[in-house]
């Protein structure tokens, strides 16, 4: 711990990406049979999207594991995170995965343009939230404007 306190437990859980946990594993543990199993783990590419809506999306009030084939996890950060809290607007953070054949997808989304990724994302959101996000020709209602930031 930061304080120097040591904690002993029967089991430990890591929420770090596999490549980071491999680097963080102490050198003297890396040859132990249990930790050698990390060698079999392989990270996969994902695309993270941050989308700001000028209206509040009421259907997302926590972290969601999705039934969507493209959006595996998402949350309205304006509800789940104090730093983004806003009673009138939503900020969705989404994990777009699988985003390549390496990750088990049929399409190499990493090679696609930002516009193609946004169109696919908005199409999926329209399917997941038909009462809040219109699935019109260009996924944009007059009262729903979106700003996007892509990270890959």
| Residues 142, 80 within the same domain | yes
Determine the structural domain holding residue 26 and report its residue range.
1-43
| Residues 35, 72 within the same domain | no
| Residues 69, 56 within the same domain | yes
| Residues 64, 25 within the same domain | no
Decide if 44 contacts 114 (C-beta within 8 A). no
Phi, psi of 47 (to 5 degrees): -115, 125
Query: Over the stretch 70-94, which tens digit does the pLDDT of each residue have?
Result: 888 888 999 898 998 999 998 989 9
Instruction: Please report, for residues 22, 49, 52, 117, the alpha-carbon distance to residue 147 in angstroms, rounded to integers and kept in the order given.
Output: 35, 10, 5, 13
Element (H or E) spanning 18, and its range? helix 18-24
Query: Over the stretch 93-129, which tens digit does the pLDDT of each residue have?
Result: 999 888 888 888 889 999 999 989 988 898 888 888 7
Query: Over the stretch 17-52, which tens digit does the pLDDT of each residue have?
Result: 888 999 999 999 999 999 999 999 988 888 999 998
| Residues 87, 58 within the same domain | yes
| Residues 74, 109 within the same domain | yes
What is the total count of domains within the chain? 2
pTM for the full predicted model: 0.67
């Amino acid at each position: 711990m930061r304080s120097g306190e040591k904690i002993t437990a029967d089991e430990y859980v890591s929420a770090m990406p596999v490549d980071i946990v491999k680097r963080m594993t102490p050198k003297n543990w890396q040859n132990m049979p249990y930790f050698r199993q990390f060698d079999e783990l392989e990270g996969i590419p994902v695309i993270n999207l941050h989308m700001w809506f000028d209206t509040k999306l009421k259907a997302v009030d926590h972290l969601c594991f999705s039934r969507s084939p493209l959006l595996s996890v998402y949350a309205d950060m304006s509800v789940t995170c104090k730093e983004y809290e806003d009673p009138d607007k939503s900020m969705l953070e989404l994990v777009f995965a699988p985003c390549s054949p390496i990750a088990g997808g049929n399409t190499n989304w990493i090679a696609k343009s930002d516009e193609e990724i946004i169109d696919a994302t908005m199409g999926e959101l329209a399917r997941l939230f038909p009462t809040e996000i219109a699935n019109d020709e260009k996924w944009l209602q007059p009262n729903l404007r979106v700003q996007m930031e892509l990270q890959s």
